[in-house]
Structure 1
């Protein structure tokens, strides 16, 4: 850019002034100098030009005059010339050649031709070749000369800008090797073809420019593609707007490519379409991948629908994302009516998950969970595998639902057979056992040593057969779903000590050391005492059986906050890796070669696993041959509210099955917060515990259950098969017992008790409604008629 322009722009930026767009670039501040080279052989005319320029008011000119073309060309070698005034008739050059030589030396400097009246044609030719303007010498004055200089410089600047812009755009177009850019006229003839098009299609620009696009890029036998491109062209000409399409085009070496083509119309001065610019990208590889993915998706869908089991994918909000044909057949609904629906509503007609929902359990455990459920007259095994995010958190699950109705029927027949046979064997076995005991005691005469030895072996086999029968009966109950857990609050360290004591003699005979490692604050667990004792007995018996003399067996109890872990570790012969996988299978036997009398039934571990899982826990083993084994099982630690809800659910299920009523006797200390402030908290806890024990003692039936609710503040007795009228008599009896105890014991005398009865189905039809009813009674309006002070209630 000329120096005077740079100076003008810098001054304008400093002052923060905005110039109007139409102002010429030659408007200068005082003392700015505009350098002009005048090539004129007439000294007189040169002086006229000098005088005219000196009189210019807003521009200061620095005029350099030369008489010869050669002198002018030498001067042009210097920097800083802003404009050339050129006479075409010079002593050393005549005509248009004069302009050609000057222009060759200074293409970037604007040139104004000076001519006489009869030389207009020559001047016009110079303008056509690049001169910015021409002036007739006889007509030059100050105004016309300055205006011509200004316009010449401005036109030259615009020309340079356009040339630079075109060059920039050309470089962009030619450097886009991965993008084809072509321009066609209205008939479809190719007028522009960039390097990217050459690279993609293989045709050089000189080979294709001037040819019709359809004849080159679209084979004659590809009528579909030709029709499509004609439709696209028609759309552009009709609607005068661009469009985009994916189309097949052919390369020079006959390869067919998929091109993502953007087509934009170019308009004439009247708004008519005069050509189309096409920008294309080779998407052949993408289309190939899309076809592969589509084919894979179709194959996956076919395979997915061929699975006879019901399979569906569910997100974290229990909404179904995908399902197979087996699910649509089961629900008798089309695919579109299943996707996006809540699985609980579809499968169970409820908005909330069922109590033993494997999906909800999986969200807590982050591992596969399964249940068996009945739908109409069919049985299904349902398992849920977790879908985890990068952090290992579940974001959904894969539900697999298998129809196991036939298996259930077979299991039922088998279980009934085993149960019947076992029961039939029990009676004669008991008779044989009693007879052997009489003989062994000498009731039928004295025995010598060989006879006693024989009877001892017979007795051991009878005991083994008895255990086998008991295990078979347990397994048949489990398979039939008839094993019921009778849960209560159990001191687990005491239970472990009791089971260990039963093995003291066996351990002593084999010189095996027993040890117990109990963690701190191991509180009671809500479990079936007898069944967990059975599990411990199985595990410890195995350890004693497979631990050689001078070994060690350690029972550990750890508190894991939400659960307790009980482990039985020994220094026995261990279990090989190949046997561990089938360890909990029925009738599985391992390490049978460890001496005589060591064979078991093969049902102890499977039964133990089922018992633990019925409690909501899990069991696993860690072992190494020659080192020993550690069997560990976990038992969930339930809150008092969870225990109550579990008892209530079981009670309601029994009441529904037997079509009988169920009543809840609810006892609450209304002013418990005041008592805790006025007395020791331990005292209030002892009172609640005493009332709970008193209610349990006063109830006369084993089926009645006493539990706590609302963090232990409420004591609730679940009275099975008890209508409301009978429950009111129970309430009166409980009230009298509490009243008597309050006078006998040193309890705070300001206790305010609240007693009431809620009955199923009179007051509510399900557990949630019963609990809501309790809340209404205790936290709703005050009920002075049911209030007790000092042990008296209304």
Structure 2
């Protein structure tokens, strides 16, 4: 009897528990499952959800809080999208309003965007989007340059001008490739900037032709004047300390400067117009530096300046025009001596770097102001406190180095010295 009663009590407890659990499940389980589904939809970006209504006050409170959260998320997303679209529109307006052509390239090397200026410069439309850069430009070497930039590298020298024919008119464009990097460091793509230099190149061509013709026309009469003055100076007998002798010396120095100026103009014009040809041959770099030191040893000793040669052992020979490289070194050494104080030091250095030989002339003189370093190789530009000549020396050096397939640069800190270097291919 007792066992039977206990069994009945246990069965009654189970029945009551089942009924209670079923009631709780119906009261809370359905709304909770509906909230879970709503949360899944919100997680997928869909904020248009239907929230359940429950007879339980606690469940309705949770539902209302969930609804408030969903509405806040929806408004936040809408605000972010509006701000993103507004920022994108501002960026688009900026890109479309700049004066240069602009091409956006993704990390696969395909065109993503080009502004209206680029469309006019290249004669393109938006159908080019999605093509590779080399394919769109018709220049396969651009793909190699682009892949180098996308790997984080830099172009060794400024690329050649692009020749583009648009509506029967030939245009010349310069371009640069710059990587676009994420804040975490990885590269997202690249930007190509195009600048129309058609008129500039035409002006430079006219200027070079004028300078070349003017130099030719001036050289003959000035040479005759210099020779005639030399004969007059030999026959004129004035005491060495007289005023007349000083005047003759002054005239002679100025005529020599004038001859040097005309020769510099003529040489520079020849290089710019492609008239100067190189006489190539094997060239020993160490001997080149030693001979340069010997040529300036007397002048350096007079100024109490130490000339040093530091060449890496067993440097390979260059295939170059030794006479033209000597001209470059003479110009760099002359500048270094002019801008180095007594007791200073000048070092001629040479080392191998990959498939290039780096030759440099380094002094510990007055240095070059940072604002002037960007224009140091431009023609007719003189920098520093001690100026002389027409400002063609460094421009001529750069032309000679570029004609060898190399590049030239400068490192300088004001008050701490200057290093000019040329990187020549083997």
Structure 1 or 2: more strand by fraction: 1
* TM-score, normalisation: structure 1: 0.45
User: 1:425 aligns to what?
Assistant: 218
State how far apart, in whole Å, the 1-side matches of 2:246 and 2:20 are: 125
Contact 1:181 1:193 survives alignment (8 Å): no
User: 2:130 aligns to what?
Assistant: 340
Once the two structures are superposed, residues 714-758 of structure 1 have per-residue CA deviations (whole angstroms, 9 ceiling, x without a partner) of xxxxxxxxxxxxxxxxxxxxxxxxxxxxxxxxxxxxxxxxxxxxx
User: 1:353 aligns to what?
Assistant: 141
Once the two structures are superposed, residues 695-728 of structure 1 have per-residue CA deviations (whole angstroms, 9 ceiling, x without a partner) of xxxxxxxxxxxxxxxxxxxxxxxxxxxxxxxxxx
Asked if residue 307 in structure 1 is aligned to residue 94 in structure 2, the reply is no
State how far apart, in whole Å, the 2-side matches of 1:479 and 1:165 are: 91
Q: Given the superposition, is the C-alpha separation of residues 483 and 314 from structure 1 closer, same or farther in structure 2, using an over 3 Å criterion?
A: farther
Structure number, greater radius of gyration: 1
User: 2:265 aligns to what?
Assistant: 472
Q: RCO (CA 8 Å, sep 6+): is it higher in 1 or 2? A: 2
Structure 1 or 2: more helix by fraction: 2
The two structures, once aligned, show a CA RMSD in angstroms of 3.7
Contact 2:315 2:352 survives alignment (8 Å): yes
Shift of 1:168: 5.5
User: 2:56 aligns to what?
Assistant: none
Contact 2:359 2:421 survives alignment (8 Å): yes
The counterpart of 2:18, out of the listed 157, 177, 182, is: 157
State how far apart, in whole Å, the 1-side matches of 2:150 and 2:266 are: 34
Q: Given the superposition, is the C-alpha separation of residues 403 and 478 from structure 1 closer, same or farther in structure 2, using an over 3 Å criterion?
A: farther
Contact 1:182 1:193 survives alignment (8 Å): no
Contact 1:584 1:605 survives alignment (8 Å): yes
Shift of 1:546: 1.5
Asked if residue 297 in structure 1 is aligned to residue 88 in structure 2, the reply is yes
* TM-score, normalisation: structure 2: 0.80
Aligned residue runs from structure 1 range 62-461, under 5 A: 62-64=3-5, 83-84=8-9, 110-111=11-12, 153=14, 156-157=17-18, 159-160=20-21, 163=24, 166-167=27-28, 182-183=51-52, 195-198=62-65, 200=67, 282-315=73-106, 318-335=109-126, 337-348=127-138, 350=139, 352-353=140-141, 359=146, 362=149, 366-367=153-154, 369-376=158-165, 377-388=170-181, 396-440=189-233, 442=234, 444-449=235-240, 450=242, 451-461=244-254
Q: Given the superposition, is the C-alpha separation of residues 308 and 552 from structure 1 closer, same or farther in structure 2, using an over 3 Å criterion?
A: closer
> How many residues are paired up?
405
2:104 alignment partner, SS class? strand
Shift of 1:193: 5.2
State how far apart, in whole Å, the 1-side matches of 2:23 and 2:270 are: 94
Q: Given the superposition, is the C-alpha separation of residues 168 and 508 from structure 1 closer, same or farther in structure 2, using an over 3 Å criterion?
A: same
The counterpart of 2:412, out of the listed 601, 622, 639, is: 622
State how far apart, in whole Å, the 2-side matches of 1:512 and 1:171 are: 90
State how far apart, in whole Å, the 1-side matches of 2:185 and 2:52 are: 55
Contact 1:556 1:568 survives alignment (8 Å): yes
User: 2:358 aligns to what?
Assistant: 565
State how far apart, in whole Å, the 2-side matches of 1:385 and 1:429 are: 49
Shift of 1:297: 1.7
User: 2:372 aligns to what?
Assistant: 579
User: 1:606 aligns to what?
Assistant: 395
State how far apart, in whole Å, the 1-side matches of 2:142 and 2:64 are: 64
Once the two structures are superposed, residues 641-696 of structure 1 have per-residue CA deviations (whole angstroms, 9 ceiling, x without a partner) of xxxxxxxxxxxxxxxxxxxxxxxxxxxxxxxxxxxxxxxxxxxxxxxxxxxxxxxx
Contact 1:173 1:194 survives alignment (8 Å): no
State how far apart, in whole Å, the 2-side matches of 1:320 and 1:498 are: 53
